Structure 1
Amino acid sequence: MHIGGIFGSAALALVVGFTPTAHAATEPTVGAREAYVVDSAGTIHFSKRESRRVPVASLVKIMTAYVVLREAGLSDTVTITAADVRHATSNGATTAGLRKGERLTVRDLLYGLMLPSGADAASALARKYGPGNAAFVAKMNAAAKSLGLSDTRYTNADGLPTPKGGGYSTAVDQARLTQKAMENTTFSAVVGSKVKKVAKSGLHRAHTWKNTNKLLQTGDDVLGVKTGYTDAAGYCLVFAGDRGGKRVVGVLLGDQDARRFTTAEKLLDYAGSQIENG
């Protein structure tokens, strides 16, 4: 006679002394060159060359936003210059489609910085709140030091390659920075937005910015955060999500384009499984 069929799993456990247990998910295969996943309790769920210093492309803009949020008022207005526009177009960088003479609030420029990853928005914000790029980069590096990011060095506000090179970070430093940045409700609202529409006004034309983070379109309980790409850095992604009552932050560096999003989703679910299984 099949005991479980008559009494159910609870009775089966009493009869044969068996305690049913949930099974943790299998650790995903991660093809990124560097990776790191940690939760808000400090538990590390995945690590791979997490302390290796490498270029991180537009993930640099996480620190740009962090510094701007410390320096600026959200309702401050910034006038876009020809140099801001030229900085993005001449370097073949992603842009927010800004034009000379437009005046946008800091709040709107943060969306232009983080969703389409606008190098023009980065230039305008650094110029305003350095003031100037060199002074702004100094503030970025000072903030990194204050946060204990000992393996991070910034050379610009957008992550574009520089002739002399020298900018770098690590997967673990980017995770720590993101954990801190996500404490700011404006930052978390910006990076968690799929699209931002800015209506035309007398100060600027209309803008529609779509988030380059495809994980927001497919993943469950995903909170952002930022994509990046250069030839040297490869495809990068910082991601975050709530799992099992904890906030999980992950970093993938040197990955492939589409793969980084599917890998991130698997890592979020894997971390959630580990959290739920204690």
Structure 2
Amino acid sequence: MIKGIKGIRRRRVAAVAVTAGAVLATGAFAAAPAQAVTTPTIMGKTGYVMNNANGATLYNKGMDTKLSTGSTTKIMTAKVVLSQSNLNLDAKVTIQKAYSDYIVAKGASSAHLIVGDKVTVRQLLYGLMLPSGCDAAYALADKYGTGSTRALRVKSFLAKMNSTAKSLGMTNSHFDSFDGIGNGGNYSTAKDLTKLASNAMKSANFRAIVKTKSYTAKTITKTGSTRTMAAWTNTNTLLSSYSGAIGVKTGSGVEAKYCLVFAATRNGKTVIGTILADTNATQRATDATKLLNYGFAKLA
């Protein structure tokens, strides 16, 4: 009787072993494979997305192709200003006629600054990044360049932009303007601009500015009274349309077409990227949305 029971037990153990081996062979108990994330198609000529935490590439379409950048150039303008030693954001800058004349001559985007008004550096940065004011860009370049003439100060500021690009490893970039209205030598790449934006976002002041949807500046007039400016609205529509969007800058132009450097944070993860030479303003936002969704799906 005991011998029979032992035999039955041995046969059961063997059967279990065979069954377990079969299960392992077929992978029935293996973890289900993660569903593949479909790589999106974008209309922009180039695009790049990375994990902001470690710089890992999440998406690439011509990331090193040199293109005109439009007003995404202003990210570097803001970066240079915010990197000044002993920066006083409340320092006042008097708006010069040259800034206004420049806007008219170039048909450029404007913060509608009034000649003679005293505007703080902080306000100029908001005027630079929200309505993409080229007058604000000129004022900042004039303020933070060095030299005895405005032309020399602008030249000095551009040198700071290029030295900063070099220090950040932006090997495929060059700036010959403070606002993106270039003179034939203003270019960057989707990867370089993403790298720049990631670095700029380390500044609390920069982050606060580029995530702001609307800002109203109160300037001081020639007579000392207070002028309440019309509200500046951020040209980056993702701030309203994409959950978790935190910046950073639009750009456009005849040569640049439609550009967007974008970033968003969800569940403690930040995805940051750039689209250059898109077909229109609506499409660049659509493409950026696709790339952000793709980036977060890759990080999930």
Structure 2 unaligned spans of 5+: 1-27, 147-152
Query: Is contact 1:224-1:239 (8 Å) kept?
Result: yes
Q: What letter corresponds to residue 93 of structure 1 in structure 2?
A: A
Q: CA deviation at 1:161?
A: 3.2
Q: Could you tell me how far 1:203 is from its partner in structure 2? A: 5.2
C-alpha displacement of 1:17? 2.9
Q: TM-score, normalised by structure 2?
A: 0.83
| Alignment match, 2:44 | 32
Q: Secondary structure at the match of 1:207?
A: coil
Question: Is residue 46 from structure 1 mapped to residue 79 from structure 2 by the alignment?
Answer: no
1:93 maps to 108
Which residue of the partner structure matches residue 97 of structure 2?
82
* CA RMSD, Structure 1 to Structure 2 (Å): 1.6
Give secondary structure in 2 for the equivalent of 1:149. Answer: coil
**Contact 1:235/1:253 (8 A) holds in 2:** yes
Structure 2 counterparts to residues 110-189 of structure 1, below 5 A? 110-131=125-146, 132-162=153-183, 165-189=184-208
Distance in 1 separating the partners of 2:33 and 2:267: 17
How far apart, in 2, do the equivalents of 1:123 and 1:19 lie? 58
- What CA deviation, in whole Å up to 9, does each residue of 1:57-114 have, x standing for no partner? 1011000000011123211111100001111121001000101011111111100000
Whether contact under 8 Å (1:73, 1:106) holds in the other structure is yes
Change (3 A) 1:155 1:232: same
Aligned length, in residue pairs: 260
The residue aligned with 1:67 is 80
Could you tell me which of 268, 279, 283 is aligned with 1:245? 268
Pick aligned residue for 1:229 from 225, 232, 252? 252
Distance in structure 1 (CA, Å) of the matches to 2:219 and 2:44: 41
Greater gyration radius: 2
C-alpha distance in structure 1 between counterparts of 2:36 and 2:269, whole Å: 17
Q: What fraction of aligned residue pairs are identical, expressed as a percent?
A: 42
Of residues 214, 233, 236 in structure 2, which corresponds to 1:195? 214
Matched letter for residue 260 of structure 2: L
| Structure-2 separation of matches of 1:219 and 1:89 | 34
Is the Cα contact below 8 Å between 1:75 and 1:105 reproduced in 2? yes
Note if contact 1:103-1:203 (Cα within 8 Å) is conserved in structure 2. Answer: no
- Superposition deviation, residue 20 in structure 1: 4.4
- TM-score using structure 1 length: 0.89
- 1:55 and 1:232 in contact (8 A); partners too: yes
Contact 1:191 1:225 in 2 (8 A): yes
Measure the CA separation in 2 of the matches of 1:147 and 1:204. 39
Residue type of the partner of 2:29?
G
Aligned counterpart, 1:105: 120
Match of 1:217 in 2: 240
Q: Which runs of 5+ in 1 are unaligned?
A: 1-15
